[in-house]
Amino acid sequence: MHLQSLLLAATISELALAVPIEDSPRQRLLDGKPLPSKFYKKPQNPYTPGFRDPLDSAVDSVGRKLDPLPFRNGLGASVLGPWNPDRARQNPDLVRPPSTDHGDVPNLRWSFADSHIRIEEGGWTRQTTVREVGTSVQLAGVNMRLGPGVIRELHWHKEAEWAYVLDGSVRVTALDYEGGSFIDDVGKGDLWYFPSGVPHSLQGLGENGTEFLLIFDDGRFSEESTFLLTDWLQRTPKSVLAENFHLPPEVFDHIPEKEKYIFKGSLPGPVADEKPKGKYFKESKLKFTHKLLDQAPHKTSGGEVRIADSKNFGISKTVASAHVIIQPGALREMHWHPNADEWSFFIKGRARVTVFASSGTARTFNYVPGDVGIVPANMGHFVENIGDEPLEMLEIFRADEFRDFSLFQWLGETPQRMVVDTLFADDKEAGEKFLNEIKDAKKDEVTKFEGPEEDREGREDLR
């Protein structure tokens, strides 16, 4: 019996050797392909004096649990003074910038983790405005959480309000300029937009309530400058309240003594049951909400894009947006936006972004979930997924339409002679390779390099 077992094991072993596993080292050698460096040695630590990388490849210091230090291609030195390794790990390209970075570029990154949180009954809020990051001049952002049944009290703003639901579900109400009433329930990935001055309210639904990102079309916005119902009634004489609402003054003896802002309310019923029953009630003809993630995505070689602006979300006249998924190893292609600054919000993954500011200046920033990025209008940039999971982000603009220019498409649609004269006058062979690649140029908003494997593996191993 023991002999039979040995013979069976030997047979299985021979079969395993005889049938190569797809993409195994043996099969790759049989196919004449090179072995990735991971089969030879462990990836080097790029933050050491002896490490060399003339390509300035991205490094996922969070994923690899590395401690970035300011060494680059034989330059730099260790750190002797105080050091925050956790912050350095999240910002490896500030600790060791690419050699292509140059000049003075203002700060274009902020983390909501560094924003002050206002804690209220059943919820909280925090904001990123021009006061937190000086380059956030066109838009301001607010991250808000409402528990189940918790209400963001009836209010309005000088600024228009755009929102993206990060999780959970929320009931929104509004009154339009013609006196039409709007009530809707929205969930994860949905949007709403309230023009300037439109009164509205929000309430968390379900077992966990909701969390969302609010965007206001002025970087100077402050959550402390909201027009609140309770605040206004506190500041109005009771005689005026009585006259305005046609009631005795004592009816208002027990209205709130201070603003409620965020507070626990009663759980709402179905939308149909919540609609006012008055004889003058009318429903709004406007649509203040939009299901962004229900849109069919625009598929690219390295991810997908969904755009919401005034073309498909008609009421959103001052805010345009794109929801972008970038797969591991892919790139939001080199591009720029001609009509507005980009206000980015990173939902998932880890990113590297280099912003070209003209005049020989460029700066590279890193982003993790909860971070905000700013790219001023017309500044060239890319977004690179440096992690091992899909990168999910929002691109938001103070504009009625989403617009961008693709560097790849521009060069492909420019006379080829001019492109070669500009970039490859001293290397005709390289020029021919470049022209061959861009001859059928089109936008590939999220692109992934599918060239020779040996050209990719060196960069991938660094991550």
- Measured distance CA(412)–CA(257) in Å, rounded: 65
Distance between CA 172 and CA 200 in Å, rounded? 7
Q: Are 414 and 324 in contact (CB under 8 A)?
A: no
Distances in Å between the Cα of 234 and the Cα atoms of 121, 157, 165, 252, 399 are 20, 18, 32, 10, 37
Cα–Cα distance measured from residue 393 to residue 342, given in angstroms and rounded to the nearest whole number: 12
Question: Which of 435, 444, 441, 446 lies closest to 410 in space, CA to CA?
Answer: 441
Q: Is 27 helix (H, G, I), strand (E, B) or coil?
A: helix
Q: Find tokens 């919540």 and name the residue.
A: 274
How many angstroms separate the Cα of 380 from the Cα of each of 165, 180, 232, 375? 29, 43, 46, 8
CA count, 13 A, side-chain hemisphere, 240: 6
Distance (Å, rounded) from C-alpha 375 to C-alpha 357?
9
Cα 290 to Cα 313: distance, rounded to the nearest angstrom: 7
Alpha-carbon distance of 300 to 324, in angstroms, equals: 11
State phi, psi for 375 to the nearest 5 degrees: -130, 110
Set 159, 395, 429, 453: catalytic member? 395
DSSP state of 327: -
Amino acid of residue 115: S
Yes or no: say if 219 and 136 are a contact pair by the CB < 8 Å rule: yes
Q: Is residue 165 within 8 Å of 210, Cβ to Cβ? A: yes
C-beta separation of 362 from 103 below 8 A: yes
CB 323 within 8 A of CB 394: yes
Annotated active-site residue 153? The verdict is no
SS3 307: strand
Say if CB 189 and CB 146 are below 8 A apart: no
Residues 6+ apart with CB under 8 A from 19: none
What is the per-residue burial (b if ≥16 Cβ within 10 Å, else e) of 92-116?
A: bbbbbbbeebeeebeebbbbbeebe
DSSP string for 374-405 = EE-TT-EEEEEE-SSS-EEEEEEESSSS---E
Which residue numbers are catalytic? 395
